[in-house]
Structure formats: structure tokens, C-alpha cells
Chain A
Amino acid sequence: MRFFLLIAIPLFFATPAAALVVDQDTVWDGQHSFSEDVQVLPGATLTVAPGSQLNFTGAGLEVSGRLVAEGAEFSGENWEGLRLKGVDNSTRITDCVIKGAATGIFVQGGAPLLEGLTLSANKVGIEVRGKAAGKVTNCLFTENLKVGLFIKDDSTTSVVDCRFAGNLRYGAYLYHARPQMFQGNLFVNNDTGLMIAYHGTDPEVLDNRFEKNKIAVQVDRAARPVLRGNLLLGNQTGFYIYRRSDPLVTGNRIEENGVGLLVAYSSYPEVESNDFLNNEMALKLEFQSSSWEAQRGADARAGETSARSAFAGQGMRSVSEEDRRAKRLDGMVNAGNNWWGKEGTLELANIGSNGNPSFIHDGRDQTTFTDEGEDYPLDKVAHSPWRKVPATEIKR
């Protein structure tokens, strides 16, 4: 059924509708329910008026033209969500609520502007892919089942001043993506606040706040982001640097976490000019050994790939060992020029450069770990020189 009739006609009662094609400028107002997909074709603009309530059952809204929606609610049962296909920045969705969808907003390419949205109880709040640009600003992602905001596929969408709260798996996930800006966001009570994973995912994560997450930021599988100027407060684990990941961790305030910075499985971050304050353990190494990496790292990764089976692994972007190679494998993790708090600084003054700080767990505390029956030396942390005053001006 083609859809011409609702041009600037407010509807105040729920109106069941079948498959719709919007092929000319159209305004929706009031309550609508849909049981079939709605398509907005190129050249057409669908405007959704403030206060509108759109309900979908087993369907979704696909926009190849333009969508302008403000202050509306999109919800439904077993519904697909909004699909924005190659739309430019004249598509603006502001102050709307999108809830209960498979993917609240799916952005395939283009550069839409998404502002002040609430994405809740979707499987995925917003998924951005296809080299999309655009902006996500002042949005709330809450209680989404898998991921609040998923940015993939070389997209550069800016993410600014958003709040990620209580998402069940990941607040935000960056996969082969480099947002133009990722700044000023708050992550609270997520399973993992921010996941930055896979080789080629090298964004700058700047001036964000992570509070009371199980893991605040996980960097995984050869990603190399810059983590700068963030506050990590009261998380079980602050930064989790995992599986050959080499981020730059600088200018952050890492405070009152279970473990401030956890480094595992052949990862060699550069950790400098951060403030570590009142963490149960400021910095911990786990299954981290240059010797293991030199002897077994490449083989273990090859084994992992083949064990995943050709079926499951087909098409994955390949990362060569050359891509993954550490700049150096000398058994040390660099964490010089950080401030370890007043007590930490006093302790370091007493024990000296070669001492074993109580707030760092490394090869000085646990000489080896065992893998497949062989012992490997746990790396050590190069904590000297250390700062005598805070490195940042970040406030709680």
C-alpha cells in the first residue's frame, strides 16, 4: 500500500496499517501502529511531530530518504527498529525514545545526526557501520541487552556527551572503527563500559568518565587506541589491556578501582603521566610474559584461529604477526612518570627504583606462571621514574 495521505494530518487514535511506502514529503503526528515495514524512499522526507507514538509489531522503519523526528517515541514488540540507509546530515532524530527493538537505530553509511535520544531495552541501541560518519550526542543508552552503541566497519561517527548506564554486556563497542571524537561520555554500571577491540581499532578516547562498571575499558585483540584524560572511578577493573594490545594510556585519573590497570597476555601499553589513587591494586600483570610471547605467542594465536574452524572464522579480517609484533620484548611493561598517590610516592622513596611496590603486582611478586606444563617468567613493571605530584587536574 502506498502512503500519501498523512500529509500534515494529525491522528489521535491508533491506526493499524499495512506495508507502507513513503515516497513524498509526509508528516506523522499522534499514535500509529504498524505491522509491516515502512519504507521512506530517496527524495522523500518523513517528519515525525513531537509527542508522536509509533508502535511496530514485527516490523521496522527503513529510511533511504530523510527522517526528521523530534520528541517522539518509537517502540514495539519483536520489532526491527529504525534503519537509516545512506542518509545525510539532514536526517535528524532528536529527543526521541527508541526502545525494545532488535537494533534501535541501524545506520548503514551516511551521516545522520542523532541527538538527545534515549535508547533502552533494545538488543543493540545503535549500530553504525558502512563507513558512516555523523554524530551521536547527548544520548542515553540504558539497559540494552547486548551493546548500547556499536560502531563498526571503518565508521567515524563522533560520540560526545552521551551516558551509558546499565547496559548488560557493553556500553559501547568499537570494532574496526575510529570515531572522529569520543569525548565527554559517562559510563556507569555497565558490565563492560567501553570495548575497543581488534587490530585497526585505534581511536582516541578522551575526557570520559567511567564509574562502577565491572570493567571500565577493555582493549583487546591488538587494538591500539589512545586513552587520554579519562576518570576511572570505583570500577572492579579500570583499564583491562588484553591479548597483544598496545594502547597509549596517558593523563588519566584512576581511582578507587579494584584493579586500576590490568595487563594480560602479551600486551605492552605505554602507561605514563597518569594518577593512580586508592586502588586496591594499582597495576597488575596477569599471564604476561615476553618469554611466552616470543616462544608461543604466534603459535597460540594460529591455534586459536584454526580451532575456531574455517566455518566460524571465514572472512575475518586477517592480522599478520607482523601487524601484531611488539616493539620490544624485554620483559618490562613501561609505567614510568606516573603519580601513585601520596602513600605510593612515600613507599617508592623508601624502596627505591629497584624495590617492589605493594601497589603493583608483577614478576617481583609472582616470578612465574604455568602454561601447558611450562613455567614462564611474569614480566615486571618499570615504574621508575615516578612523579612526586599529580599528573592531571581531573576532578572526581
Chain B
Amino acid sequence: MNNTYIKYTCLVLLLLGYLLSACTPENESGLSGQLLFQDQPLASAQLEIYLKADKDRSVQPFAITTTDAEGRYQASLPEGSYFVIGKKRETTDDGRTRMLMAESPANPHQVVDGIASVASFNLREMGREGLPVADDQTGVSGLITYQGEPVSRAFIYIYTENDAGLTGPSYGEAVQADKEGHFTINLPVGRYSLVARKRADGSRSGALAPGDLNATYPGNPVEISSGEILALNDFALTKVDAEQHAQRLADGVFTKTETLLRGQVVDADDLPVSDVYVFAYLDSRMVGKPVHMSVPTGADGDFSLFLSDGGTYYIGARSAFGGPLEPGEWVGTFDGQADHSVTVTRGANDDLGSIIVKEFW
């Protein structure tokens, strides 16, 4: 065995030792803590970790973990700021299903390096869809109408705050009116904003389309007092107008600006892929709502992604937007940089080249 061989062997071992030490649990970062219910450890509860506060939440959690028999959890997370929610659906001894839920009072939690500790917190029993349990003598009632006629089976959405614009899934409860358009909703004492919608396909959630019925209650916010079922005035829906709807889309994420990324969406065989949206995120994790999106690609796969300003964006492409990724969708990322980022100056018109997508099955 010569000296050179020994030197190389030592070097390799040193490098290996360094790499192994970098993988040890001491370098792991994330959050740990304990969930309680009535001050007792809560086993098999779900801990959901979000990147945004409640009012802005519109996507699935960034990470999910489950508590052990002692109610304890640990989640590995990269550096960042996180919002923590505990949940558990369980059946009580008397056969009743109940939902326990609470946000960490100390939200948001910062992860810098190592495992940050989250103070233990108690989950509370919730009502049907996420509000604390109300008594049956307190709430609101009313009648949903369209052009003076009752509307059957519309959904009434209860928002506890309106910072998010009374759209999206941040409502606390959704209740369906009866066949005659009447509804009564028991709520805890408090202030609420109400929205009613009747989609043509009868669904409870999803983007409104032309022809759907929609209204924000004109008396928002409503104040609910203890022991009172507040009778609302006329809650009249209006039809979503096709032209206004199209204009709203055009004025929104598709707005044309002077800063532009363009390119082509292709498959692994370099063939153009149509009907794919290109998205720009400010967050390197590319979760949540994108800040900009393109119109769907045409047969040539070409896209133009208009940006409101210069900066660093993280670029992805997908054949649908909103909702979970499903089999059959095209999905991919801009891979010019390993982190899928591109830095753009204001007013630029930059060619990103190709974004390769593949079908997810």
C-alpha cells in the first residue's frame, strides 16, 4: 500500500465523515411539541403546518404529521415561518363524531436551525364545519331569493372575518338552504359576514361560472347576540354575468404588463403541449397561490407570463389550477436553475426557453 493510496483513503474517509455528520439528527430543523385536549395528551391527532395565516390559507398544508401516544409530534421543515394547527376527528363513547381543533396561540413559529419547540396547546371541540359549538337558540335565519322567487338548495357561507374578500375556502361554515330557500344556522355569539351562492352544477365549492347565482349579504357584518336567532332581511342573489366574469379574469392574474417571461411548454420528446398554465411564485417552495399565471398554452405550446414587477420568481407549469393534482395532469417546473427560479428586471421581455412537463398518473 503506497503513501498516495493512504492519503486518498484518508481524504475520502474525512469527506465521508463530514457528509455523515451533516446528515445527523442534530442538523435537522423543524418543529416539535405536544397537543392536548382538556389538558390531557392527545394521541393520533393531526398537526397541519401552513405557510400562511388562517385568513390567507387557500391550499393544502405544507406538511402534516401525527401525534404519538403521548400527544407529541415532530416535523422536519426547512428554515421559514410556519402556522400550526392541530386537528382530530374522533368518535365519543356515546357514538357521536366530533371534531377537535385549535391553532397554536404562538403562531407563527420560526424555524432557523434545529428543532424549535412549540408550546403545548389544547384543542377545542368544534361545530359542524369549524366554528366553536353554538347553542340552538343563537344564530341567523333567512330566505334566499332570485328575482323575487325563493332559491332552493343554495349554500350560505359564514365568514368570521372578511380580510380575504369573502371568497375561497376560509369560511367557517357552509350550510345549504332547504328546498324552499329557507335556512337557519346556529352560531356562537359574534360578528359574521355571510355570502350565498348557487352553482349551476349544485356543488358546494369551486370557482363561480357565468350563470351561477351569487350575493354578499348587504347587511354584513351581522352581530349575533346570545339567545337570539337573528332574522335577516331579503338575501337576494344575482346571476354571474359572462362578460363581467371574463373581464374580471382579464383584470386579474392574466393582466398584461410590461414585464414578461415567455417560452414553450414541451413534453419529454420536445413536442409542444397545449392547455398548460405557467405560474410564477415568490416563495421558493412554490406552494399557495401563485402571484401570476399565464393563459393556457395553445397548440404550439408557447406561453407568455406577464409579471407585475422585476424580481426573482419561481416558475412551474400545470394543466390545471386550483385543487389537488390529479392523474392525467401535465406538470413540470422551469429547470434553468435548480431551485426553478428566474430573476427578471422590470420591463424585461425574457425567453425562458422550454419548460418540460410530464403527465402525472
Chain A nearest CB: distance from B317 CB in Å?
9
In chain A, residues 73-118, which have Cβ atoms closer than 8 Å to a Cβ of chain B?
Answer: 85-86, 102, 108-110
A317 to B328, CA, bound (A): 16
**Chain A residues with CB under 8 A of B340:** 309, 311
With A109-B201, A109-B203, A310-B62 known as contacts, the answer to whether A316 contacts B325 (CB < 8 A) is yes
A320/B66 contact (C-beta < 8 A), A311-B286, A313-B325, A315-B325 known: yes
A210 interface hit (Cβ, 8 Å):
no
| Chain A residues whose C-beta falls within 8 Å of the C-beta of B333 in the assembled complex | 309, 311-312
* Residue A314, interface by CB 8 Å: yes
Contact partners of A322 in chain B: CB under 8 A? 66
Check if B200 sits within 8 Å of A64, measured CB to CB.
yes
Closest B residue to A102 by beta carbon equals B275
Contact B62 A318 (CB under 8 A): no
- Please, how many residues of chain A have a CB less than 8 angstroms from a CB on the other chain? 32
* Min distance, Cβ B138 to any Cβ of chain A, angstroms: 32
- Cβ–Cβ contact B325 & A197, under 8 A: no
What distance in Å separates the Cβ of B177 from its nearest Cβ neighbour in chain A? 16
Structural contact, A150 and B60, CB atoms closer than 8 A: no
Least CB distance, B171 to chain A, in whole angstroms: 18
Task: Across the interface, name the chain B residue whose C-beta is closest to A197.
Answer: B327
Residue of A nearest to B299 (CB): A78
Question: Does A212 lie at the interface of the complex (its beta carbon under 8 Å from any beta carbon of B)?
Answer: no
B-side contacts of A311, CB under 8 Å: 279, 281, 285-287, 314, 316, 318, 331, 333, 340
Contact string against B for A residues 286-324, beta-carbon threshold 8 Å, 1 for contact and 0 otherwise? 000000000000000000000001111111111010100
Interface residues on B, range: 20 to 34
Across the interface, A150 reaches (CB within 8 A) one of B200, B285, B328, namely B328
Within A119-156, the residues touching B (CB, 8 Å) are 124, 130, 146-147, 150, 152
Tell me the chain A residues, 309-352 only, with Cβ under 8 Å from chain B: 309-318, 320, 322
A152 to B328, CA, bound (A): 11
Whether A240 sits at the interface, judged by CB under 8 Å, is no
Distance (whole angstroms) from the CB of B168 to the closest CB of chain A: 14
Given A309-B333, A320-B66, CB of A315 within 8 Å of CB of B324: yes
Q: Do the beta carbons of B325 and A147 come within 8 Å of each other?
A: no
A89 to chain B, nearest CB (A): 14
Q: Is the CB of A86 within 8 A of B203?
A: yes
Contact with A along B246-260 (1 / 0, CB 8 A): 000000000000000
For the complex, would chain B's binding face be called helix, strand, loop or mixed by DSSP majority? loop
Q: How far is the CB of B150 from the nearest CB of chain A, in Å?
A: 14
Q: Quick check: B287 and A314 within 8 Å, CB to CB?
A: yes
B211 touches A110 (CB 8 A): no
- A86, B200: Cβ atoms closer than 8 Å: yes
In contact, A86 and B60 (Cβ under 8 angstroms): no
Q: Which residues of B contact A320 (CB under 8 A)?
A: 64, 66
Would you call B316 and A315 a contact (CB within 8 A)?
no
- Determine which of B199, B200, B314, B325 lies in contact with A314 in the assembled complex, contact meaning CB atoms within 8 Å: B325
Known contacts A147-B328, A313-B325, A315-B59; is-contact A86 B201 (Cβ 8 Å) = yes
The CA of A150 and the CA of B328, in the complex, are separated in Å by: 10
Are B211 and A39 in touch, CB under 8 angstroms?
Answer: yes
- Which residues on B sit within 8 Å (CB–CB) of A110? 201-202
Distance from B349 Cβ to chain A, minimum over Cβ atoms (Å): 24
Asked whether B326 is an interface residue with its Cβ less than 8 Å from the other chain, the reply is: yes
Per-residue interface assignment for chain B, residues 277 to 305, with 1 indicating a CB less than 8 Å from any chain A CB and 0 otherwise: 00101000111000000000000000000
Decide: A108 and B285 in contact? CB cutoff 8 A.
no
Selected contact of A312 from candidates B200, B360, B361, CB within 8 Å: B360
> A359 CA to B282 CA in the complex, in Å?
57
Residue in chain B with minimal CB distance to A85: B201
Closest to B275 in A: A102
**A309-B333, A311-B333 known; A85 and B327 CB under 8 Å?**
no
**Cα–Cα distance between A86 and B209 once the two chains are bound (Å):** 14
Instruction: Report A-chain residues with C-beta under 8 Å of the C-beta of B326.
Output: 152, 175
In the complex, the answer to whether B64 meets A318 with C-beta atoms within 8 Å is yes
| A184 sits at the interface (CB 8 A) | no
Interface residues of A (CB under 8 A from B): 39, 41-42, 64, 85-86, 102, 108-110, 124, 130, 146-147, 150, 152, 173, 175, 195, 197, 309-318, 320, 322
Which 9 pairs between the two chains have the least Cβ-Cβ distance?
A: A85-B201, A315-B324, A86-B201, A311-B286, A86-B202, A64-B200, A311-B316, A315-B60, A310-B285
Please name 15 pairs of A and B residues whose Cβ atoms are closer than 8 Å in the assembled complex, sorted by A: A85-B200, A108-B201, A109-B202, A109-B203, A130-B203, A147-B328, A175-B326, A197-B361, A309-B340, A311-B314, A312-B318, A312-B325, A312-B333, A315-B325, A318-B60
Besides the known contacts A108-B201, A318-B60, 11 further A-B residue pairs in the complex with CB atoms under 8 A apart = A39-B211, A41-B211, A85-B201, A110-B201, A130-B201, A310-B62, A311-B287, A311-B340, A312-B318, A314-B286, A320-B66
Task: Write the residues of chain B forming the contact surface with A, with a CB cutoff of 8 angstroms.
Answer: 59-60, 62, 64, 66, 199-203, 211, 275, 279, 281, 285-287, 314, 316, 318, 323-328, 331-333, 340, 360-361
